[in-house]
Structure formats: C-alpha cells, structure tokens
C-alpha cells in the first residue's frame, strides 16, 4: 500500500503503521482499503497491547481485591474513566458510566430517567435521521409511559429543519438527537438544540457515536445533559461504551441493572445503592476493554482532535473533488456534500448499480465499504432510498484510499457498462 508515500504527501507521520490490520492483504492478494470506520474503527497496536498486557500481567477483579494486581487493575480501570472524562471535558470522572456501547447507554437513560420522569402527555423529541439505537428505545419508552414521540424533520440534504423546533418542544421533557448522522455524515446543530430545549425545561441526550470519534467534543460547552458513545468506533475495543450524565441527573435517577458492585449495603429485604458512577455498573465490568479504551483515548489525544478534524476535512474535500468526475456518469452523493458541514462519511449510489452490487465489486478490490440502510430505515424511507453505499474515513485513511475508491467505482462502471 502506498501509505508511506501518501503520509509524506499529507505532511504527517505514518499513522497507518500503528494499525497492524492495514498491512494485511485480502484472500485475493489485494491490500486492505478500509473505508467502513463508521461501522467500527480499526485498532492501533497500543490498544491491542493494552488488552494483552492486562490479561498477561494483572488480570483481576476490581474494587474488592486487596492484593497487588487487583489494585493495579482497579487503578487502570478508573484511570481509563478519568481519561474519557478529560477527553470529553466532563466535570468529573464520576459522571461517566461504563456501558457495553452507545446503545446500552441510551437504553439506560430511557429506562432509568425515562421511567422515573415521563408521564402520559409528555413529549419525547428525536430527529428523523436517528440511528435505530436512538429511536427504538424511545418508541418503547413512549409505549410504556404514554408519552408522545415527535420528530425534528430533515430536509433532502439531511440537515435538520429547526424552524418549527419551538412548537415541537411544547410539553417536551427530553430531546434525543445525534451529533453526527451515521448515514449522511451531517454535523448537526446540537448546541442550538440544547439551548432551545433548556429554555423550555427539557433535557437533551446527544448520541455522539459518530461525533466523538471525529470531532473535538466538550460536553460542558455543549451543556449536554447526557452524551453517549461507543469505544469501538474510536479506536477502542468492542463491548465498551460510555454514558456521560450531569451529576444531579444521575444522582436523582433510580438504578438501571441491579446486582453486585452497584450496592452499598444489602439486607434480605432491601438495599442501598453505591455512589456514582458505580450505582449504574452492576456486576463485573468489562475491565480489559475499558482499560484498552483508555489507551485509545491516549492515542486520539496525542494525535489531536483538531488535527484529526482537519485531516478528515482535507480528505473529504479531496474525495468530493475526485468523485465529481463520476457524478457526470450517474454517481449521486447524499448529504451535505460540504467538508465543513460533514464528518468523514460519503453516502452514494452509482447510476442503476445497487449498493450491494457496488460493495461486492469494491470488495474484489480489497475495498471495504458498507451497503444498506445503515440502521436508519425511517430516514431512508424519508429520502426515498432503498439503500446507499457508504464510504467512511478515519485518521488512518489518506488520499491513496480515495484514489482506490475512485478506481473501484470506475471498475464497477465498466462491469455494469455505464457510459
């Protein structure tokens, strides 16, 4: 792969060398061109090593052992939490709850906060472009509580239409909205939504699954009430995610799952619950993956989130420029089509080639993209699309990947005999 050469072109050190998988070849002998980071990112060696080191050197359960490796595991686990807190500029580490992923974090809020605070006639407001993970939990919550689910509309470019927001916010208790659309890459105006929701006394959960990996995020500057993310989309392992919540909200919420670790004292009749954040972490946590996620955060912080954003913006601009030639041959790009309003995602269709066929043809060239509805079926219906082909970028992608994508699309055009 031409990673080294492109890294020089980009004036950056060779990030690709940090990701062992990017040196792999497919069974057809093609270099792996990974353009599906919006689904899950690749992992740098430091993260793989952190997992390995934990299991080899200090695997022990946390928060109870008195022996040395148990103390070391507990420290590393809590230090990882502190790293995430700094990364998001949270006020304190106790406001970060470990979950399995963003989906579980949203469900935690829907069950715990939602169950305690929503009543018939209250309104839950989401947008039309949410991932199923930030839609279905609210549908179920509305069913359980008799609350009404409303939607912030999107336009054909995937931008939220905020002109009717104040009407939609009437009787609203909670707004749940993505920070970045996983299907279109649109960066959404969450700060404005938070301000207007707060003005009527509603709280806001921001689904940062696609934003935290790509943009500098400051939960206090955003004044987010809840912010959720998944480690696996930001260089970390699968199976670990985060719920950030303001202390006052988390303290007032009832526990979500019950069991060991989340209690202070237990009698046969009743229990009192642990303090934050452990009140929401029942049972043995995903210790290894939390620690390794801490290493991913270190890696991202060292790379620099501003730097990352600049890198992706430059790459997107280059991709739009290269793809323009194909637009004349029937390529359609969805979403804002503007590197300043979009984060590393390009969603497209090519003439009458179905997205799945496109993905299959690209696969023969070692190029990994995603085809389908991207877990946003209502949005696809809204945009009148059955499926799109989505290429998504991250810090390890460079111009050579865009060039490979364009060459792959040209191959597809030839196979399908497009003029």
Partner 1 sequence: MDDFYRDFILDHYRNPRNFGHLTEPDAVAEDRNPLCGDEMRVELEVDEAGKVSDIRFSGKGCAISQASASMLIESAKGKSLESILALNEESVLENVGIDISPTRMKCAMLGLGVLKSAALAGIAKASPE
Ligand X SMILES: Cc1ncc(COP(=O)(O)O)c(C=O)c1O
Residue of 357, 378, 407, 410 that binds partner 1 (CB under 8 A): 357
CB 223 within 8 A of CB 238: no
Give the pairing of strands 123-127 and 388-392. Answer: unpaired
Window 317-356: contact mask with partner 1 (x via CB under 8 A): -----------------------------------xxxxx
Nearer to partner 1 by Cβ, of 275 and 352: the residue is 352
Q: Please report, as ranges, the residues that interact with ligand X according to CB under 6 A.
A: 101-103, 131, 133-134, 178, 182, 207, 209-210, 230, 375
Nearer to partner 1 by Cβ, of 307 and 354: the residue is 354
**What φ, ψ does residue 204 adopt, rounded to 5°?**
-130, 130
Q: How far is the CB of 115 from partner 1 (least distance, A)?
A: 29
Give Cα separations from 222 to 158, 208, 417 (angstroms). 21, 12, 49
| Beta-carbon count within 10 A of 268 CB | 5
Task: Identify what 363 binds: ligand X, partner 1, none; CB under 5 to 8 Å per kind.
Answer: partner 1
Q: Identify the residue whose tokens are 């005999």.
A: 417
Q: How far is the CB of 415 from partner 1 (least distance, A)?
A: 5
Q: Identify the residue whose tokens are 């940062």.
A: 208
CB 207 within 8 A of CB 228: yes
Nearer to partner 1 by Cβ, of 309 and 373: the residue is 373
384 part of the interface to partner 1, by CB under 8 A: no
Nearer to partner 1 by Cβ, of 304 and 381: the residue is 381
Provide the b/e sequence for 344-375 (b: ≥16 CB within 10 Å).
Answer: bbbbbbbeebebebbbebbbebbbbbbbbbbb
Annotated catalytic residue 172: no
Ranges assigned E (strand) in 218-291:
226-230, 241-245, 263-266, 271-273
Nearer to ligand X by Cβ, of 209 and 402: the residue is 209
Query: What is the chain's percent helix, strand, coil content, to nearest 5?
Result: 45, 20, 40
# of chain residues touching partner 1 (CB under 8 A):
20
147 part of the interface to partner 1, by CB under 8 A: no
- Measured at the CA of 367, the angle between CA 334 and CA 399, to 5 degrees, comes to 75
- Tell me if the bond preceding 213 is cis, omega within 30° of 0: no
Stated as kind and residue range, the H or E segment containing 106 is helix 102-108
Task: Identify what 357 binds: ligand X, partner 1, none; CB under 5 to 8 Å per kind.
Answer: partner 1
Q: How many helices (H) and strands (E) does the chain have?
A: 15, 15
Task: Identify what 353 binds: partner 1, ligand X, none; CB under 5 to 8 Å per kind.
Answer: partner 1
The CB-side HSE value for 17 (13 A sphere, CA atoms) comes to 7
Task: Identify what 127 binds: partner 1, ligand X, none; CB under 5 to 8 Å per kind.
Answer: none
Single out the segment in contact with partner 1 by CB under 8 A; choices: 61-69, 122-130, 220-228, 373-381: 373-381
Nearer to ligand X by Cβ, of 1 and 175: the residue is 175
Identify the active-site residue in 331, 375, 395, 402. Answer: 375
Q: How far is the CB of 215 from partner 1 (least distance, A)?
A: 30
Q: How far is the CB of 387 from partner 1 (least distance, A)?
A: 5
Which residues contact partner 1 by CB under 8 A?
352-357, 360-361, 363-364, 371-373, 377, 380, 386-387, 415-417
Catalytic residues: 375
């Amino acid at each position: 792969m031409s990673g080294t050469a492109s890294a020089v072109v980009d004036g950056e050190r060779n990030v690709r060398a940090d990701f062992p998988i990017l040196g792999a070849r497919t069974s057809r002998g093609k270099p792996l061109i990974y353009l599906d980071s919006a689904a899950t990112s690749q992992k740098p060696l430091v993260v793989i090593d952190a997992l390995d080191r934990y299991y080899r050197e200090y695997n022990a359960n946390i928060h109870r052992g008195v022996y040395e490796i148990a103390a070391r595991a507990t420290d590393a686990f809590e230090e990882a939490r502190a790293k995430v807190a700094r990364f998001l500029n949270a006020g304190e580490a106790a406001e970060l709850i470990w979950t399995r992923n963003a989906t579980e974090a949203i469900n935690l809020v829907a069950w715990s906060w939602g169950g305690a605070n929503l009543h018939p006639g209250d309104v839950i407001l989401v947008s039309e472009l949410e991932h199923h993970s930030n839609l279905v939990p609210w549908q179920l919550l509305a069913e359980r509580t008799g609350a009404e689910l409303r939607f912030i509309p999107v336009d054909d470019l995937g931008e939220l239409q905020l002109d009717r927001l104040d009407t939609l916010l009437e009787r609203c208790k909670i707004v749940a909205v993505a920070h970045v659309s996983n299907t279109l890459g649109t960066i959404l105006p969450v700060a404005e939504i938070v301000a207007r929701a707060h003005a009527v006394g509603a709280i806001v959960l921001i689904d940062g699954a696609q934003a935290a990996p790509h943009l500098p995020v400051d939960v206090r500057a955003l004044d987010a009430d809840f912010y959720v993310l998944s480690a696996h989309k930001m260089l970390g392992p699968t199976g670990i995610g985060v719920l950030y919540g303001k202390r006052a909200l988390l303290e007032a919420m009832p526990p979500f799952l019950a069991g060991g670790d989340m209690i202070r004292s237990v009698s046969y009749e009743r229990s009192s619950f642990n303090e934050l954040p452990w009140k929401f972490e029942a049972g043995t946590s995903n210790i290894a993956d939390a620690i390794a996620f801490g290493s991913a955060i270190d890696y991202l912080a060292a790379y620099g989130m501003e730097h990352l954003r600049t890198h992706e913006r430059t790459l997107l601009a280059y991709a739009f420029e290269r793809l323009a030639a194909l637009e004349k041959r029937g390529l359609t790009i969805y979403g804002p089509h503007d590197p300043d309003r979009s984060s590393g995602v390009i969603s497209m269709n090519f003439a009458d080639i179905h997205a799945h066929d496109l993905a299959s043809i690209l696969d023969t060239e070692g190029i990994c993209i995603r085809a389908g509805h991207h877990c946003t079926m209502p949005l696809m219906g809204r945009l009148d699309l059955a499926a799109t082909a989505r290429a998504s970028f991250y810090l390890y992608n460079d111009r050579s990947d865009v060039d490979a994508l364009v060459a792959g699309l040209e191959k597809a055009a030839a196979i399908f005999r497009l003029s």
